[in-house]
Structure 1
Amino acid sequence: MTPPEHKASAERRGRIVRGIWAACLLLAGLNHARTLLQHGVLWDYHGVGGVSAAYWSSLTVIDPLIAVLLLVRPRIGVPAALLVISTNVAHNLAVTTRRLPEGALFGYVASSPQLLSQIAFLIFVVVTWRWARIATISCSRAT
């Protein structure tokens, strides 16, 4: 492959990866919106505390915003996506750990489609980070 073809291939791969990330974040934002419509904006998520409830509710706006940034401002959207999915998984695991009996986390996570999908998305983001980032660097040089 000649250098221009290689660059075009890398950029195409980066756009595809960012598109998949954006689609996942849009679906996550819709899921958060569904939760708020079902339970109300001030729902306490079964008593998790105000900070956790505010964080989860804020993802109704943050997830779709990052999805848009991935498409229109990938230099900002790519690190923002990694940040939001990392903090979301860490936060969800921390809250879950506090609420379960000792030693029950693995079994709970293994039976939770929501947590499994978030962890899978985090792994996908980490694995494809380089492709999205390389394309982001080339996008920023073009503008």
Structure 2
Amino acid sequence: MRIILLVYTICLLVGTYTHARGLVHKGFLAYPVPLAIGLYWDALTVLDPLAAVLLWWRPKAGLWLTLAIMVSDISVNTAVYLAGYFGPPVPHMVPLTLFDQALFGLFVLVTAPLVYKDLPLMNDQTA
């Protein structure tokens, strides 16, 4: 299960890098999207690494936060794509970044119940 947590952590840190890079290069609320979406994307600069830390410090809280991030981020990004904020959507095509994110989200959704079930054992081993 620690390998799964490590995969979660690495992917969350990739997300952190992506959002931090956007803030550094383009600034706060730099994208042509509704304010709530811009705030959400900028907040992921803090939420992604927080989830990564919590996965190891408070695993259940980290797991719930990771699930919430992935479900909400994929939903928001899909809506932004379909709404055409960055250009018209291409029929039968999904942007590579959304596809990658969806694969990670699916991995989290499939493995989270297994990880959650195993967390009490993991905590007993580290105590």
TM-score, with structure 1 as normaliser: 0.79
Single out whichever of 92-101 and 48-57 deviates more from structure 2.
92-101
2:53 is aligned with 1:53: no
**Which protein has the larger Cα radius of gyration, Structure 1 or Structure 2?**
1
Tell me the C-alpha RMSD between the 2 structures: 1.9
Moved over 4 A (4+): 140-143
2:65 is aligned with 1:68: no
Quote the sequence identity (%).
33
Q: Secondary structure at the match of 2:29?
A: coil
Higher RCO structure (Cα 8 Å, ≥6 apart): 1
In structure 1, runs of 5+ residues without a counterpart are 1-13
Residue number in structure 1 paired with 2:9: 22
> 5 Å matches for 1:33-48?
33-43=20-30, 45=31, 47-48=32-33
Do the aligned residues in 2 keep the contact of 1:17 with 1:131 (CA within 8 Å)? no
Aligned residues: 124
> 5 Å matches for 1:101-116?
101=88, 104=90, 106-107=92-93, 109=94, 112-116=95-99
In structure 2, runs of 5+ residues without a counterpart are none
